[in-house]
Every structure is written in C-alpha cells, then in structure tokens.
Amino acid sequence: MGVILTQQQVSVKHGMDLVQLKLGDRSMLLYYQHVFSICSKMRGLGTFALRYERNSPALMRELDKYELAPPDEPLSPVYRRSGLATNVETWKVSYEDQLVVLQFNDQQFKMHYADSAVVRAWLYKAAKEAKAWAGDDRTGFRVFARLTDAEDNDKFAYG
C-alpha cells in the first residue's frame, strides 16, 4: 500500500544538475533526463486517471501552458556535471483509478491526478533549470512509430 500525498506534502527543487523530489519524509535525487521521462509518463497516465472520473482532458491542456515558461536559471556556457549521484535505482509511473502512482526503488507514492498535474509542472520546471545549469542546450526528442502495412517497395522520405 502506498502513501497518498497532497501538494502540500511534496516539494521540488533543482540542485545543480539534479532534481530533488521530496515526497512526505522521503527525498529522492534524480537526473534531469529521468525527470523529463517521469513528467511525460505522469502526463499520459494522469489523463487516464482524469478520465476515470469522467472529466475532460482540457484540464491537462491548461496546465501545459506552465511548462512553456523559460527556466529561471541562465544557460551555462559549457556542459558540466556536478559529480553528485542519484539515490534512485529504479522508478515507475502508473495509475490506479483516479490516482497517479509513483514508485521509486521499492516505495510507492500515490496522489490525485489534479495534484499530480501540478507536481508534474514543478518537476518539469526544475528539470529545465537543472538542464540549463548543466549547459545542455540539446532540444532533441524521440519519436516512436509503429509501421504497419508497409510494403518492401514503399519509399519513405526523410527530411
């Protein structure tokens, strides 16, 4: 059984190139690259939890506007690492009914989808600031596609 948290029991801040996430009395240090993945999963699974209560996904679109704000931390001129290490080996994001479930190592934390949307925005902003501290100016993204019904003689244009 995981602990059900509210926004008041969660704090997020960046420390150099790591993001510190405090859930209740537990504190996790995460690499900013992992935090971006966690935010992505929290958004998708938060939408499933939102639909469990038969609400419109428009709420998530409103909260996405917060993620467009630039980070407060100015971009470093060089790519750098602090030398600090994370204390999280495994993490997983899932959902149960209207709750979003975060699992770090072997401990579960649950929160309502509305609280998780706000926490996700905090995490995203802290990850952007940690990325700026590290001087990482890459804007890369991943695209996953399932190609079905493609024939051997089909031509794909790359551009």
pLDDT in tens, 124-133: 888 888 888 8
Q: How far is CA 71 from the centre of its chain?
A: 15
Using 50, 70 and 90 to split pLDDT, how confident is the model at 151? low
pLDDT in tens, 68-107: 555 555 555 556 666 777 888 888 988 888 888 888 888 8
Tell me the sheet residues that pair with 104.
Answer: 91, 107
Is there a contact between 85 and 15 (Cβ–Cβ < 8 Å)?
Answer: no
| Distance separating alpha carbons of residues 33 and 54, to the nearest angstrom | 32
Would you report the helix, strand and coil content of the chain in percent, each value rounded to 5?
35, 25, 40
Of 139, 31, 49, nearest to 93 by C-alpha is 49
Of 46, 122, 130, 118, nearest to 84 by C-alpha is 130
Residue 71 is predicted with a pLDDT of: 54
Averaged pLDDT of the chain = 75
Residue 119 is predicted with a pLDDT of: 86
Higher per-residue confidence, 13 vs 159: 13
Is there a contact between 131 and 118 (Cβ–Cβ < 8 Å)?
Answer: no
Token pair of 154, please?
A: 């089909």
